Structure 1
Amino acid sequence: MSKNQKSDFKNPNTSIPAWRQLRWNLILFFVLLAVLPVTIAITVILVQASQQATDQVTDQLESIAELKRGQIVRWLEASQGVLTLFLADRNRVDQFVNFVVFSSPEAESVARQTLNNVLGEAVKAQPLFEEFFVYNTKGEILAASNPIQLGKIVTRQPYFSRSLKEPYVQPPYYALGTADLAMFITQPLVDQRKQIVGVLAGRLNLNTLGQIMTDRTGLSNSGETYLVSLESHYLVTPSRFESEGYIPTRAYYSEGINRVLLGEDGAGTYPGYREPPVNVIGAYRWIPQLQVGLLAEVEEAEALAPYTQARNVSAGIALVAVLVAVGIGFYSATRIARPITALTQVATQITNGNLEQRAEIAERNEIGLLATAFNTMTSQLRELIGSLEDRVTARTERLEIVATLGERLSAILKVEELLTEVVNQIKDRFNYYHAHIYLLDDTGQNLVVAEGVGEAGAVMKAKGHSIPLNAPTSLVARAARTGEIVTVDNVRQAEDWLPNPLLPNTYSEMAVPIVLEGQVVGVLDVQQDRVAGLDEADANLLRSLVNQVAVAIRNARLFDEVETALAEAYAAQARYTEQSWEKAKIVTRQGQYHYVQPHAPTLTEAQTQALAAAKVQALQQHRSLTLTPNGNNSEVTAVVSPIILRQVPIGSLQICSSSPDQVWTEDDLEIVEVITQELARVAENLRLFEETRERASYEQTVRQITDKLRAAPDLDTLLETAARELGQRLGVRHTVLELGLKTGPLVANAQNGQGSGSGEVL
């Protein structure tokens, strides 16, 4: 290559960051190859170990939760059994019922003391209840193991309303105004009539519940079990971290608490209720009898400590493997990358335009083969660049021609002119042997030559040369049927080629369908006088061109349709104007007015005839005429101007001068033209006004007669009114109206408007 050619190339930036260099990528590859399998194996093992450790802790916590829930349920059942056993003695029940129902003031103190003693003994006999008391349906405590409770009203207690209906276990709650946790079991007192007259209530000893939950059997150092109440999210049993401010009488939230209070049983890892949150592994169980959730939790860090230690050891092993892999990778990568780096430097020189460079690499492996192929490619590149610029220039010229043709075609609005321009430009600009365009006929069954170049095209167009759409031996028909470009490099060897005697030198042919809005409307057929004279570049070029031709055809057809529609509209408007003025009735001076200046001479017969002939000519030509004796040997000096309304002459204006030397200037003629135009417009407005007024009068007449007909009280009056009104409105002397199908003279059957269904007005 010459120095000038070398200067056309830009010197690329050959500086590659270290992280993109082959050597370092190979080092990274060796590291990954050594470390990745180990890392994956260790990761899988650690994940499995973590999952197993988590599952083991979860199973242990679930066992603890189930165990404690069972203890709580048995404690509750035992408490209910104590109350049921206490009331199993019917005499005792009757004693309580009689006291509640029949106690009198005189015997009340003795009976109450007796019952108080019974209740007190019952409390001492078992450890599950702290006190018993009896209240009536009004909520007043009548007897109690603790005398302090006597006389108190329990209607505001949460268990009161339910206790009057059925045996009821009141879930733990914090009494109003105190921080004391309370839980009650109630049993209704029923008389002989099976009616509830009072309630026996027992307040449970919650120390037992606390002992169950604070038992740390099976829990690690950070483990705890606790109960949370559905009401207000308060703790029912003390928190292990109560000394840190986590008191029972405050709301606590965590994923486990929220789920268990929704009635769910389960386990998982989630942030605990402490702040800041500490991840815990927990198991939770819902206890519906107490409306509380039971949770057993342990800190995740403590539970997974063995896993953490194994993970740290594995990380150390992986680090050692990385260091070893780096050493091996560095050596191997340098040995592999050295010839590739040399080849890269040669490629950089070639990129800069020095195509004489060769890669001198002695390795007898794939890299050596690559260097040989690279040298071969460089030689071919030297040959290719020599012809590349010419090919690019030719393609650019073709694209410019297509763009220019598109602009010219878009400006042509006549279909025939458009098609003529297309075929001639295609043949001349692209040096084709022949080009012509087929369009589908109105039936859509035949392709008819619409335009072609040269004598052959003119002959085919004049003869109406056509090809059936279903013709089996036609490239044009095949392109129209399939909607695809059909190209044949040698038509003499094509089975479906239809030879044309007018084009004997055709050897290659391309048929390009013209598609408009998804439908094939025609085919552009181009031919060359040499084998394989049309290639893919021609196909792309002609495809782009026919798309523009399709749009241009649509625009031209639309323009023709618009012109036709406008012509029809103008013709209809002209007919309407002409018919309207023929029907117009101009009364004053029969539509004429003749103004004569005082002392002006009267027109002679010859002058009148000259004006009449000029009037006919002006109306036919739709333009003003000037008559002068000197100019056109006229008998009169005058201006005759047609009065034109919407291209239709509706009258004329004749101006005659008494002086034969009168000169009509451009200003005079312009004044006449403006006046006639304004006269036509105003006359049309007056005609329309008169037409509207007549129509209004007609409508008024019809309405008046109709109103009178509707006011008729009977048929005779109706007929009389109709005949009289029509006669008066139409100005006729004799009007006869008859209803029915009688035959014979009408007047003979009507006497002064009397008779069945007939009337007469004279």
Structure 2
Amino acid sequence: MVSIIPVVGITIYSTLTLTDSYTSDRLEQLNAIGHNKADALVNWFGERRGDCDFMTKTPSVRNLAYDAGNYGTGHSHMVMMNAAEEIEEVMQVMINVYGTYTEMYLLNTSGYIVAQQSAEGWGYGHSKGADQSTKEYFTAAYAQRTDEEFTYLSDFRWSSDNEYIQIVTSSVIHDMDGNFVGVVVFYIDSTYVDALMQATEGLGSSGETYLVNHEGYWLTVSKFDYYTAETGLYNDLSEIILTEQLTSVGIVAALANKIDTKKPATRDYRGIHVMGSYSYLLINSEGLPWILVAEIDVSEALKVVNDLTTISIWIVVIIGVIVAVIGYVIAKKFTDPIIKLNTLSIRVAEGDLIHIGDDGKVRKGNDEIAVLGRSFGTMTENIRDII
């Protein structure tokens, strides 16, 4: 059995080394997936800000913005209405072409909506004349009103009436003479973000990616039906957004340390052991981070290693059994003659000289035990002859 100890040691060492190596590789894969999606988010939201900025640079809009927002200052109501309608036509074209906005509107320098357009089917559009002067997308832009290049991107948040979740971008607009004449606001449709997070290529059957905010609240939906089927708390997964808070170790560590984080083993919101990558993102203008989570069940991530470990254990067990059986047979081959010889020695010592050699049988062979057996038999015969 001693001979199997090196085999066991090598097997254990190889298994541990393989597990560490495979865990590291899987974490790097998760990290790469997370970073690729993070880059996609940065670029996509950058494009949304660019779209808003593009409208503020459109000559026709720049020429019309002052007229649309300054009724009573030398402009007739008809001039204001016509200007607003032309701007709304531009907005409608952009909504239809880009397909990534639910609503657009123009605020005058006082923060009132003077032109507005919504996507077809969007039921939460604002009304003209609504006061938005206290909204962060206006106050932030107004504070930077002299900077023609300024654009603002909000965090995900509930609308003021708590009817829907919104994320908006806004940009200052100047007339052709460089005078500040208002703020353009776009409401972003986050369908792309949800679709990006739901894409699980390279993540197996248990892997998923999702986005949480600076407090750990969901910003995109879960891949699994844990919150609906298992907990029964919600009828639709979309209800968890900005409602359910996650406090898993990886998310908390990434937020606390303000850096990308990797965890080889932790529990997710379902209580399942996962390994994960947690990317720390600063995308919005409020300085509030998002965490892009890429996780996969440990059982699936290390399935190959676990299978190899199981096979290795069975191989060691089988080898151990074989070695034990062979050892027993070999040992018995040597110990049986010695035991018999010891029995004969006791009988001779007691004066029993009838039994000769190995019960009358002569053990063949030239090994030490065979020679000793024959010598003992000869000695017994000689003693009997003398007596």
**TM-score scaled to structure 2, two decimals?**
0.69
Compared CA separation, residues 115 and 61, structure 1 to 2 (3 A): same
- Give the alignment partner of residue 229 of structure 1, picking from 201, 213, 218: 213
**Residue 139 (structure 1) shift:** 2.8
Structure 1 residue 171 and structure 2 residue 159: aligned? no
Match of 2:275? 281
- 1:120/1:131 contact within 8 Å kept: no
Which secondary structure does the structure 2 equivalent of 1:218 belong to?
coil
Which secondary structure does the structure 2 equivalent of 1:198 belong to?
strand
Consecutive unaligned residues in structure 1, runs of 5 or more: 1-30, 339-762
**Residue 68 (structure 1) shift:** 1.3
The 5 A counterparts of 1:233-244 are 233-242=216-225, 244=227
Match of 1:74? 43
Structure 1 residue 140 and structure 2 residue 118: aligned? no
- 1:181/1:236 contact within 8 Å kept: no
Higher mean C-alpha deviation, range 280-289 or range 145-154: 145-154
How many residues in Structure 1 have an aligned counterpart in Structure 2? Answer: 303
Which secondary structure does the structure 2 equivalent of 1:199 belong to?
strand
Match of 1:584? none
Which secondary structure does the structure 2 equivalent of 1:306 belong to?
helix
Compared CA separation, residues 160 and 64, structure 1 to 2 (3 A): same
**Residue 98 (structure 1) shift:** 3.5
Aligned-partner residue type, residue 131 of structure 2: I
Q: Deviations over 1:653-677 (max 9, x none)?
A: xxxxxxxxxxxxxxxxxxxxxxxxx
**Residue 325 (structure 1) shift:** 6.0
Q: Distance in 1 between matches of 2:191 and 2:106?
A: 23
Q: Distance in 1 between matches of 2:267 and 2:136?
A: 31
- Give the alignment partner of residue 151 of structure 1, picking from 129, 134, 140: 129
- Give the alignment partner of residue 312 of structure 1, picking from 310, 313, 317: 310
**Residue 192 (structure 1) shift:** 6.7
- 2:53/2:151 contact within 8 Å kept: no
Q: Distance in 2 between matches of 1:229 and 1:61?
A: 20
Which secondary structure does the structure 2 equivalent of 1:171 belong to?
coil
Consecutive unaligned residues in structure 2, runs of 5 or more: 119-124, 145-149, 229-236, 339-387
Q: Distance in 2 between matches of 1:256 and 1:192?
A: 50
Q: Distance in 1 between matches of 2:181 and 2:227?
A: 49
Which secondary structure does the structure 2 equivalent of 1:226 belong to?
strand
- Give the alignment partner of residue 62 of structure 1, picking from 5, 23, 31: 31
**Residue 278 (structure 1) shift:** 1.2
Match of 1:51? 20
Compared CA separation, residues 102 and 151, structure 1 to 2 (3 A): closer
Match of 1:270? 265
Match of 1:106? 77
Q: Distance in 1 between matches of 2:126 and 2:170?
A: 19
Aligned-partner residue type, residue 47 of structure 1: L
- 1:256/1:270 contact within 8 Å kept: no
Q: Look at both structures and tell me which one has the larger radius of gyration over its CA atoms.
A: 1
The 5 A counterparts of 1:494-513 are none
- 1:186/1:201 contact within 8 Å kept: yes
Q: Deviations over 1:177-201 (max 9, x none)?
A: 4362211111012357755442101
Match of 1:536? none
Match of 1:92? 61
- 1:170/1:183 contact within 8 Å kept: yes
**Residue 293 (structure 1) shift:** 1.3
Aligned-partner residue type, residue 81 of structure 2: S
Match of 2:91? 119
Compared CA separation, residues 218 and 171, structure 1 to 2 (3 A): same
- 1:234/1:250 contact within 8 Å kept: yes
Match of 1:130? 102
Q: Deviations over 1:662-697 (max 9, x none)?
A: xxxxxxxxxxxxxxxxxxxxxxxxxxxxxxxxxxxx
Greater RCO structure (CA 8 Å; 6+ sep): 2
Q: Deviations over 1:251-279 (max 9, x none)?
A: 1121221233343113222323323x211
Compared CA separation, residues 243 and 274, structure 1 to 2 (3 A): closer
Match of 1:206? 190
Aligned-partner residue type, residue 86 of structure 1: M
Match of 1:296? 294
- Give the alignment partner of residue 168 of structure 2, picking from 163, 172, 184: 184
Match of 2:371? none
Q: Deviations over 1:504-533 (max 9, x none)?
A: xxxxxxxxxxxxxxxxxxxxxxxxxxxxxx
Q: Distance in 1 between matches of 2:321 and 2:314?
A: 11
RMSD: 3.0
Compared CA separation, residues 234 and 267, structure 1 to 2 (3 A): same
Aligned-partner residue type, residue 293 of structure 1: I
Aligned-partner residue type, residue 236 of structure 1: L
Identical positions, percent: 19
Aligned-partner residue type, residue 204 of structure 2: S
- 2:68/2:81 contact within 8 Å kept: no
Match of 1:216? 200
Structure 1 residue 253 and structure 2 residue 247: aligned? yes
Q: Distance in 1 between matches of 2:164 and 2:4?
A: 62
Q: Deviations over 1:94-152 (max 9, x none)?
A: 31134323555633434333333332233223222222101134432221113743222
The 5 A counterparts of 1:635-654 are none
**Residue 301 (structure 1) shift:** 0.3
